[in-house]
Chains A and B, each alone.
Chain A
Amino acid sequence: MPAGPHKRGLVPVLFLCLASATAAEAQEGAHPPGTIHGKITVTRREESRPLLLHDDMSGMYSLHGGGMSHPQGSAPAGPALLSERAVVYLESEELNRGTYPLPSRAPSLDQRNLQFHPQVLAVLAGTRVEFPNRDNLFHNVFSYSQPKEFDLGRYPRDDSRSVTFDRAGIVRVYCDIHSSMSATIIVLRHPYFASPDEAGTYIIPRVPPGSYRVVLWYDRDVLERKSVEVHEGEDLEMNFND
Chain B
Amino acid sequence: MTRTAQIAACCMAAAATAAAQVELSGQTAADFTKSASTQSPRVVDSGRPSFGWDTRLFVEAQPAEHVTAMANIRATNTDAVTFDYVALRLTDITPLGLNIQAGKFDLPFGNLGERRFPRKNLLFGLPSLYEYRTALPDHFSPGADYRVVPEREILANAGKGAGMRLLDLGMYHTGVMVFGSAGMVDYALALTTGTVSTTSYGADNYTSDLGKLARVTVTPLTGLTIGAAYDWGAYMQSGYPPPGNPDVNAYHERAAEADLEFSRGHAVFYAEAVTATFSVPLTTGDGDLQVFGYYAEGKYTLIPRLYAALRVSGLEFGNATLGATAGPWDYNLIEWEGGLGYFIDRDVLLKAVRRETRTRGGSNPKDNLTALQLVVAY
Residues of A within 8 A of B (CB): 50-55, 57-58, 60-69, 71, 136-138, 142-144, 149-151, 153-157, 172, 174
Contact = CB atoms under 8 A, between A and B. Distances in A.
B61 A65 contact: no
Contacts of B70: 52, 60-61
A62 B114 contact: yes
Interface string B257-278: 0010101111110000000000
Given A69-B97, A154-B264, A54 B305 contact: no
Given A67-B181, A138-B263, A149-B304, A62 B108 contact: yes
Interface residues of B, number: 54
When A and B form their complex, which 7 residue pairs have the shortest distance between CB atoms, in order from nearest? A67-B186, A52-B60, A54-B58, A58-B113, A69-B181, A63-B108, A153-B265
B186 A53 contact: no
Given A54-B25, A68-B179, A69-B180, A144 B304 contact: yes
Contacts of B58: 54, 57
B45 to A, nearest CB: 30
Nearest to A70: B181
A53 to B, nearest CB: 7
A126 B12 CA distance: 50
B23 A64 contact: no
Most buried by A among B105, B113, B120: B113
Nearest to B109: A63
Contacts of B225: 64-65
Contact of B105 (A61, A142, A149, A150): A61
Contact of B188 (A53, A63, A154, A172): A63
Contacts of B181: 66-69
B240 interface: no
A46 to B, nearest CB: 13
Contacts of B62: 51-52
11 contacts: A60-B70, A61-B70, A63-B215, A64-B259, A65-B225, A65-B261, A68-B186, A69-B181, A142-B304, A151-B305, A172-B346
Contacts of A71: 219
B217 A174 contact: no
Nearest to A154: B263
Contacts of A53: 23, 25, 60
Interface string B221-242: 1110101000000000000000
B21 A138 contact: no
Nearest to B68: A52
Nearest to A156: B222
B93 to A, nearest CB: 12
B222 A157 contact: yes
A67 B111 CA distance: 11
Nearest to B61: A52
Interface in B295-333: 301, 303-305
B215 A174 contact: no
Nearest to B111: A64
Contacts of B335: none
B223 A63 contact: no
Contacts of B97: 69
B22 to A, nearest CB: 8
Contacts of B111: 62, 64-65
A62 B99 CA distance: 13
Nearest to B187: A63
B85 interface: yes
A155 B265 contact: yes
Nearest to B177: A63
B146 interface: no
Most buried by B among A52, A53, A151: A52
A57 B305 contact: no
